Structure 1
């Protein structure tokens, strides 16, 4: 399908949505029926209040931090994210990530320095652990997985 038809279809959908919003406003009803604030609250309630928000950081968010996220993502005691300090990272660390995190694990001292350079004020009350894991492992390398399980588990007091 040519791209101009696809764009036309998107404009059509946007127009229909704006019509629905205008009509709902005119009738004094809320559209969509479930308010966004309620949806956000429901998502927050699904997460255990005792979970710790953990952010894993390396340079490009390609091997080490992404592996750490995969290793710990299903653990019930923590919620995890990962990011990179490089602008070319798969997911560059953002202010929202820093704000969300309660504990931050960086792979090397240089990652901590880069975070402090970019987000010093936001990091004042955050716990940052340097894992000292060199950039010599591939994604889900068995040795890397074992190091992450042991060091992160020890630091957080979980297994």
Structure 2
């Protein structure tokens, strides 16, 4: 098992954009975890970054390795669940880790910081969609109090294969 890491978690910033885009593009190119199918440029990803300010219900938390280089190891977000106004007190959360960063406590540190930041916000529920199979993602969501509420069967096709997405829910405030 990989050694656990002490990581520094803080809000994402403009200078992180290239590294965050590289992490996301890995998942686009190599896995069905995201249903995006075409890698994105940092400029295309900029509106996403700017939609996650340092306060409010939509956050971006970034994990960095300790030390002066501060290599980015992953990120977690809370984003709008749906566009309609009645959904405003619900968020969708996600975690993406750099290759090799899994199983070392990075995801736990990210979610802990994200949910601590959301404690004072007007957010009632968090939801997470997990492309199946993905045992690591299921474990971390359950560890943080999410419960599985349903499955969209064969909802997305990537790499020529249809994939199910399990949905998880967590009560907040």
Q: Normalised by the shorter chain, which TM-score bucket?
A: under 0.3
Structure richer in strand, relative to its length: 2
Q: Larger radius of gyration, structure 1 or 2?
A: 1
TM-score under structure 2 length normalisation: 0.24
